Amino acid sequence: MLNVASLFPWVNNSIQTPRTVPMDQLLAIRVFSRVVESGSFTKAADSLRMPKATVTKLVQSLEAHLRVKLLQRTTRRVSVTADGAAYYERTRHLLGELEDIEATLGNAQASPRGLLRIDTGGSVASGILIPALPAFRARYPEIRLELGVTDRTIDLVGENVDCVIRSTANDPLLATRRVGSLRWITCAAPAYFERHGMPQHPRDLENGRHEVIGYFSALSARTKPLRFSKGDEAFDIKARGSIAVNESNAHTATAVAGLGVVQTLAFMAHPHLERGELVRVLDDWQPEPQPVYVVYLPNRHLSAKLRVFVDWTAELFAALE
């Protein structure tokens, strides 16, 4: 059981010795928590959409009120003092309990509300998530969304993001829920196949007759191999072409332009297949589908707004399988 009086000293003996409680005290605690979590006044200010001077002033007022040093500041970094670490751990739980209380008031469970910050890659954002958002908004009109679109790895704590949609779940410090999977296809433009012929086997892509458009990671700069499987047989083929890109929408665009063969996610190629701009090949040799996960912090209170978004995302991706 939390000792609220130990966290908020002004509560002690309030009947015998009334004192004025600063109206921004709870805000100061929230700001202090963000500085600790992000490790920087600047990052905390950015994530809270506040001026850095306001963040600094609130933390200073909290330290003055408690009469202890919570943070040790230097020109290069911010570190937490022993008192600050103890105060953060206890107030972190208190803030979670406050969110629980707020969530149970009125019809918050039936109608989740508040700001939800999510992040995903460009292709999923433009091809899956954004087209479906009108349905989400109609179902949950009181949830405000901030959608970050990037293919880099997000620091959920430092950037104050509630959840991310990813294709990997290899971080043991994060909670993950698999919400679906995405199919791959191999394809190229009709004009390309008129020039080079249709491959009958994946090995045909290795014999020098075909241009394979490579996809490389922006972090590692390594070109990903094309993966093929059929029954018990599975193997990789390294891309051998004159062009490689590091963004999925651009990767598909190179195929539409007739520059070569690509292996891409089916939802990205589908509009071009319907218009006849791409033709699929080697359907019997497709790799395992790409898993999709929603990732969030395990110690972050799973609020009603986050829970319904995760459930809705699972519905959305299930419809694509």
Torsion (CA) 64, 67, 70, 72 in degrees, nearest 10: 80
Please give the C-alpha separations between residue 281 and each of 69, 197, 226, 273, in angstroms, as whole numbers. Answer: 66, 11, 13, 11
pTM over 0.85: no
Task: In whole angstroms, give the CA distance from residue 292 to residue 167.
Answer: 5
Residue corresponding to tokens 């912090």: 297
Which ranges of the chain would DSSP assign to H, the alpha helix? 4-7, 25-38, 41-48, 52-66, 82-104, 122-124, 130-139, 190-196, 248-256, 266-274, 304-318
Burial class (CB in 10 A: 0-12, 13-18, 19+), 320: middle
Report pLDDT for 220. 59
Task: In whole angstroms, give the CA distance from residue 256 to residue 213.
Answer: 11
Over residues 32-70, the pLDDT tens digits come to: 888 888 888 888 888 788 898 898 889 988 888 888 899
Contacts of 49 (CB under 8 A, 6+ apart): none
The stretches in the chain having pLDDT less than 70 are: 1-23, 75, 96-97, 99-110, 218-221, 299-302
* Maximum CA extent, the chain: 91
Task: In whole angstroms, give the CA distance from residue 136 to residue 313.
Answer: 9
Report pLDDT for 102. 64
Task: In whole angstroms, give the CA distance from residue 149 to residue 65.
Answer: 40
Report pLDDT for 104. 58
* CA dihedral (283, 286, 288, 291) positive or negative: negative
Report pLDDT for 39. 82
Rg value, the chain, Cα: 26
Residue 37: HSE in the Cβ half-sphere, 13 Å Cα cutoff: 25
Query: What DSSP state is assigned to residue 129?
Result: I
Hey, what domains does the chain have and what are their CATH numbers?
A: 4-104 (1.10.10.10), 114-180+291-318 (3.40.190.10), 184-288 (3.40.190.10)
DSSP string, 44-96: HHHHHT--HHHHHHHHHHHHHHHTS--EEE-SS-EEE-HHHHHHHHHHHHHHH
Q: What tokens were used for 298? A: 């395990």
